[in-house]
Structure 1
Amino acid sequence: MQNDKLKSYISLHLIVFIWGFTAILGALITITADAIVWYRMLLAAVFLFVFILFKKKPFRIPLNSFFKLIFVGFLIAMHWITFFHAIHVSNVSITLSVFSLGAFFASLLEPLFYGRKVLWYEVFFGLIIIAGLGMIMKVEVNYLNGMLYALVSIILGVLFTLMNGKLIKNHDATVISFYEFIAGVFFISIYFLYQNKFTADFFVLSFNNWALMLILASICTAYAFTASVKVMEKLSPYTVMLTTNLEPVYGIILAYFIIGGKEKMSVSFYVGAVIIIITVILNGIIKHKAGKKAVATIEDASPADLV
């Protein structure tokens, strides 16, 4: 059990690193945020459809689960649209730094979704992260619009993460992701039809945009998103959200070397980022020790205690 959790945690860190690169792609792709998400979800759904056929997995799911997936797909679409828009009106570093609030929101909402008690250290770590974010916001007020879009995005992200944490208990992660992506494409398409956005120019992308979009849809979406849903078989949504706070770190470092000048921030910004890193590490240590303690308690219990 502990080895499974460790593997899931390592897998999650790889996923978060990939998500950090996702923000870079969003900054480099030169089409609107909603168009990026439409192409991203459509192409990712195609990749997953082929994968599900290859693995001969069943597409059939109960009707009540189907409607839940449709709703989660809508949340995901809105989450990504506000995410990419935040990057376009500010930058990668600012957008990803606001995502550190995800752990705090998860610490409050997860007990409501799962019927467990609030853990004091989860709220405490969440508050520390807010303090780190406060240092960033204090000196980067020019990017307020981007911060607000990022805030809406992370709230939506927490909600669909919590819902997927329940759905994964009864359904395959790949099938879950496929239906959610299809739902997202459906809702965005309705909006585009209403706004008459489906013009000939909409379907004309530069070679550079197509190349970046394929990377975004395959590695950063079809693989990373599905894998992030799967790890919740072993890890709690809160741990997923808190570990996701490393996304700003990976993304900021990558942005600095790939994009350059626009991503250079103040000293206070980097101090806030360090606070976030330390908080994530402490959470991992506490949860690891708690897991070992729980295993030891079970191993020491008599057979009568376990009946």
Structure 2
Amino acid sequence: MPPTHKSLWAVHSAVFLFGLTALFSKLIDLPALEITLLRSLFAVLALWAVMRWQGEPLGLRVRQDYVIVLLLGVLLAGHWVTYFHAMQVSSIAVGVIALYTFPVITVFLEPLFHGERPHWIDVISGAGVVFGIYLLVPEFHLNDTTTQGVMWGILSALLFSLRNIIQGRYFNHYPAKHALLYQILVTIVVLLPFGSAVIPQVSAVQWGQLLLLGVVFTALPHTLFAFSLRHFKAKTASLVACLQVVYATLFAAWVLGEWPAMTTVAGGVIVVTAAMFETYMAGRRR
């Protein structure tokens, strides 16, 4: 199989697994923080084993990189916890759609790191996302579960955007697996004081689910996605990644019976279209 075909299979497989990851927010009967902590334990062991097997170096090059990866790990921990919590308080469709506001959030945040202003066309995309979110939340009320899901999802998107911007600017000289290994280690350290009390209460079935989530649905898709970047541009892989919303919503409906309302579907189409457009435009600008 040609390398480009392998990369194509890798990126689609990764996005498919990312979409299935959302189901575990409902299937594992644990709070989002504890799920994130325990999935991270299995994910970091899997990544460490793969890197050792491939003979990749594990250390960082300069001391400053340890400070940067500490910040990246804190942002990743916050992103994972808020993403799973968004789906737990509302629905998988609402949580994952709210998360995919991150490409538009990125185009507004990234210029701040370069002393630039967003392009006028980005403002139009932002307005489209606001309208899409409005369709998700027809009645804004803090006691409404959909409102809560959207707010937590947008917070997750904000943390994810910051993490991606900082990693791309200050930590892009490391392979993706290397960067992810350290960030998950930081995630474990940050969350362990808050989630360790639940460990003795985790059942055998839940340990099996967490093992599956950490290895098959965390370490594996991140590795596949990193592999795809060897032959694809980041823009192309990111456009394919927007299919995560479709996969997550379809499997939530099929497995959990969470059928989205038509307004949710319409809002999701608008948000994902804006995400794909901004990803495409970002690739052209680079």
Q: Which residue of 1 aligns with 2:96?
A: 96
1:138 alignment partner, SS class:
coil
Q: 2:264 aligns with which of 269, 276, 282?
A: 269
Q: Percent identity?
A: 23
Q: Which residue of 2 aligns with 1:78?
A: 78
Q: Is residue 250 of structure 1 aligned with residue 247 of structure 2?
A: yes
Aligned partners of 2:13 and 2:224 also within 8 Å: no
Aligned partners of 1:243 and 1:280 also within 8 Å: no
After superposition, the Cα gap between the structure-2 partners of 1:160 and 1:232, relative to the gap in structure 1 and judged at 3 Å, is farther
Q: String of CA shifts for 1:218-251, please: whole Å, max 9, x gaps.
A: 1221122345567678426x984x7654432221
Aligned partners of 1:74 and 1:183 also within 8 Å: yes
Q: Which residue of 2 aligns with 1:15?
A: 14
Aligned partners of 1:99 and 1:248 also within 8 Å: no
* Structure 2 Cα separation of the partners of residues 208 and 86 of structure 1: 24
Letter in 1 for 2:93: S
Structure 1, gaps ≥5 residues long: 295-307
* Structure 2 Cα separation of the partners of residues 41 and 8 of structure 1: 26
* Structure 2 Cα separation of the partners of residues 232 and 107 of structure 1: 21
Q: Is residue 180 of structure 1 aligned with residue 183 of structure 2?
A: yes
The Cα of 1:25 is off from its aligned counterpart by: 1.3
Aligned partners of 1:48 and 1:222 also within 8 Å: yes
The Cα of 1:9 is off from its aligned counterpart by: 7.8
Aligned residues: 278
Aligned partners of 2:44 and 2:219 also within 8 Å: yes
Letter in 2 for 1:185: I
Aligned partners of 2:252 and 2:259 also within 8 Å: no
* Structure 2 Cα separation of the partners of residues 232 and 70 of structure 1: 24
CA RMSD between the two structures: 3.2
Q: String of CA shifts for 1:24-66, please: whole Å, max 9, x gaps.
A: 1121111111110111111111111111111111112121111
Between Structure 1 and Structure 2, whose CA radius of gyration is higher? 1
After superposition, the Cα gap between the structure-2 partners of 1:216 and 1:93, relative to the gap in structure 1 and judged at 3 Å, is same
Q: Which residue of 1 aligns with 2:55?
A: 56
Aligned partners of 2:177 and 2:222 also within 8 Å: no
Moved more, 21-30 or 216-225: 216-225
Compute the TM-score of the two structures, normalised by the length of structure 1: 0.78
Q: Which residue of 2 aligns with 1:152?
A: 155
After superposition, the Cα gap between the structure-2 partners of 1:281 and 1:105, relative to the gap in structure 1 and judged at 3 Å, is closer
Aligned partners of 1:41 and 1:181 also within 8 Å: yes
Q: 1:220 aligns with which of 217, 242, 247?
A: 217
After superposition, the Cα gap between the structure-2 partners of 1:14 and 1:134, relative to the gap in structure 1 and judged at 3 Å, is farther
Structure-to-structure mapping, 1:124-139, within 5 angstroms: 124-138=124-138
Q: Is residue 33 of structure 1 aligned with residue 52 of structure 2?
A: no
Structure-to-structure mapping, 1:87-126, within 5 angstroms: 87-113=87-113, 118-126=118-126
The Cα of 1:215 is off from its aligned counterpart by: 2.0
2:30 alignment partner, SS class:
coil
* Structure 1 Cα separation of the partners of residues 130 and 78 of structure 2: 23
The Cα of 1:18 is off from its aligned counterpart by: 2.1
Structure 2, gaps ≥5 residues long: none
The Cα of 1:110 is off from its aligned counterpart by: 2.1
The Cα of 1:23 is off from its aligned counterpart by: 0.9
Letter in 2 for 1:20: G
Q: Which residue of 1 aligns with 2:203?
A: 206
Aligned partners of 1:79 and 1:157 also within 8 Å: yes
